Amino acid sequence: MKTATIILILSGFLGASCARAAQVPAWLVGYWAQVVDEDGRPGDDTLRFRKDGSVVVYGPKCQELPPSEFHLHTGNIYATFETPKGLVSAVYVPSQKHQRLTFTSPRTGNNAVYAPAKGCIPVGG
């Protein structure tokens, strides 16, 4: 009985992860480089959305930070990132033709815009 319960629980987890991967649209998978920052900072980060529902942020020198998870809801992308001080959430709104992702800072109200890229783009690159 315990074995059957464990198998059912594990199959539920596997089914959930497969469903998440199936829900990631092809246009989102890949690198997105910051091309606009209304706060005036240089384009200092690149995002990489993966088919498995994870997202990786690359820092100014293309250092890879630990992967986080994202999900889609009503067309928007919701991501949660772990920081030394706790969790930070971000919402990315895709343009109508999926050529841009816009993040609006809850602190300043300004936008950062990301566009598809071939890979990580370091600051000044």
Q: Note the pTM of the prediction, 2 decimals.
A: 0.79
pLDDT band at 44; cut points 50, 70, 90? confident
Summarize pLDDT for 16-31 with one digit per residue, the tens.
333 355 689 999 999 9
CATH 2.40.128.280 is held by the domain 2-117: yes
Summarize pLDDT for 53-94 with one digit per residue, the tens.
999 999 888 999 899 999 999 999 999 998 889 999 999 999
78: Cβ contacts below 8 Å, ≥ 6 apart: 70, 71, 72, 89, 90, 91
Query: How much is the pLDDT for 49?
Result: 98
Chain centroid to CA 104: how far? Answer: 14
Q: What are the structural domain ranges in the chain?
A: 2-117
Q: d(Cα 78, Cα 24) in Å, to the nearest integer? A: 12
DSSP code for 64: B
